Chains A and B, each alone.
Chain A
């Protein structure tokens, strides 16, 4: 059986862009779940510091990340010289998803990779009403 994905939670400590009730509910569910997980105060800060633990988090195989937009998370890890695996990383977005949606995805086992893949040009951008 393949290894269960690891879980990473970002508390987005240094901004008020993630609804506090969402991040609190996600952290509470994780805390009560009995599963092992990594939690970081603020991915942006770690990225700016090129914190070596981001490399460990990126290199350890399948991972589910509760943070913000997948595009931002992908390039925050890249900034830290710790590229996430495109095929085995799933980012849950606490800015727009509910705590229930985020937790359901975190605990369901299967990784649904959703990082943007590859070079795009202006013509690739989706239309607003697509």
Chain B
């Protein structure tokens, strides 16, 4: 199931009419346990304002003392479950929520670290450099040929490389350690900063694809002599580790998992063609 089509479950910790309030420590423990399991939790109290519910499933937790409240205004297709949590500790409360998650087929959380590029369209000039650069098919264009991050789960965890090729510092990774990639304000100095603007090709002393091609040719020649898969793999890993240390914050595993040079060439050509087509369409 794709990230965007998974069903959702909202947990409501209800402390309004017909539900006794929780003790302070119990409430905090329950909230923490539910959040750590990845749930969205609404704490509802009499007269308080929270986001309305439109669709998806709901589990309403409360100390109901046998008087389960009635749900009002529930739209068709919404599944609502009430759960009396009197006497339950935080871990048991989270278990009950997980049971409803399973029952309703709602998305499970934490199976994918949410690491993906977030585009600041106030800064983006639609230059398509990110689309040309990314070899993992994260970027695409919408029907107006506007750049988009489309395949979030293709993105390589902890790799901020595309943000470093963006000339406008318009690509953020909110979970990155430092600004402006983490979403902190962009300073004038960031735009020209050497550290900010890593040009992968310059790291290799020239065009990255030609370097990879040369490496591939050399490797082919060597492999034909050696015919030793283990040695070939060791050589590739050595080369990629060198690259990883040069790029400083591009994780070694990302570089280790790069496709073969031939595949890189193919994908690079494909990405470049997509970017050129989008730019041409925008010029019309």
- Find the B residue at minimum CB distance from A125: B188
Residues of A within 8 A of B48 (CB): 35-37
Given A39-B40, A71-B172, A71-B184, A56 contacting B52 (CB threshold 8 A): yes
Asked whether A45 is an interface residue with its Cβ less than 8 Å from the other chain, the reply is yes
Q: What is the minimal beta-carbon distance from A122 to any residue of chain B, in angstroms?
A: 5
User: Counting CB contacts under 8 A, is B202 at the interface?
Assistant: no
Q: Using a CB–CB distance below 8 Å, which chain A residues touch chain B?
A: 3-4, 6, 8, 11-15, 17, 24, 27-28, 30-32, 34-53, 56-57, 60, 68-73, 75-76, 78-79, 95, 116, 118-120, 122, 125-128
Contact B174 A68 (CB under 8 A): yes
- Prevailing SS type, chain B contact patch: loop
On whether the beta carbons of B191 and A69 are closer than 8 Å, the reply is no
Distance in Å: Cβ of B193 to nearest Cβ of chain A: 10
Q: What are the residues of chain B within 8 A of A120 when measuring CB–CB?
A: 122-123
Q: Give CA–CA (A52, B49) in the complex, Å.
A: 18
Instruction: Give the Cβ gap from B63 to chain A, nearest Cβ, in Å.
Output: 16
Which residues of B lie under 8 Å from residue A71 when comparing CB positions? 120, 172, 183-185
Question: Which of B44, B55, B149 sits near A79, CB closer than 8 Å?
Answer: B149
Given contact pairs A6-B51, A11-B35, A56-B52, A45 touches B121 in the complex (Cβ within 8 A):
no
Report the interface size for chain B: residues with CB under 8 A from the other chain.
65
Contacts of A76 in B (CB 8 A): 118, 174
> Within the assembled complex, what's the spacing in Å between the Cα atoms of A13 and B39?
10
Smallest CB–CB gap between A77 and chain B, Å?
A: 10
Given A56-B54, A79-B118, A122-B191, residue A44 in contact with residue B175 (CB < 8 A): yes
**Does residue B69 face the partner (Cβ distance < 8 Å to A)?**
no
CA A126 to CA B119, docked complex, whole Å? 19
User: Is A45 a contact of B187 with CB atoms below 8 Å?
Assistant: no
Of B109, B121, B122, B191, the most chain A CB neighbours within 10 A belong to B122
* Chain A contact surface mostly: mixed
Evaluate contact between B122 and A116: CB separation under 8 angstroms: yes
- Can you list 28 A-B pairs, Cβ within 8 angstroms, ordered by A? A14-B113, A15-B175, A17-B174, A32-B27, A32-B28, A38-B40, A40-B35, A41-B35, A45-B38, A45-B112, A48-B152, A49-B6, A51-B8, A56-B51, A56-B54, A57-B51, A69-B184, A71-B183, A71-B184, A75-B120, A119-B122, A122-B188, A122-B191, A126-B188, A127-B187, A127-B188, A128-B187, A128-B189
Contacts of A38 in B (CB 8 A): 40-43, 50-51
Q: Which residues 19-68 in B have Cβ within 8 Å of A in the complex?
A: 24, 27-28, 31-32, 35-45, 47-56
Given contacts A14-B113, A118-B122, A128-B188, contact A31 B31 (CB under 8 A): yes
Specify the chain A residue showing the minimal Cβ separation from B152. A48
A69, B40: Cα distance in complex, Å: 20
- The residue in A4, A11, A44, A72 that gathers the most chain B C-beta atoms within 10 A of its C-beta is A72
Chain A nearest CB from B174 CB (Å) reads 4
Smallest Cβ distance from A40 to chain B, in angstroms?
5
A47 touches B118 (CB 8 A): yes
Cα(A27)–Cα(B33), bound, Å? 12
A-chain residues with CB within 8 Å of residue B28 when the two chains form the complex: 27-28, 31-32
Residues of B within 8 A of A56 (CB): 51-54
Given A31-B43, A35-B45, A41-B39, also A17-B189 (CB < 8 A): no
Given known A-B contacts A31-B27, A45-B109, A128-B189, A39 and B35 have beta carbons under 8 A apart: yes
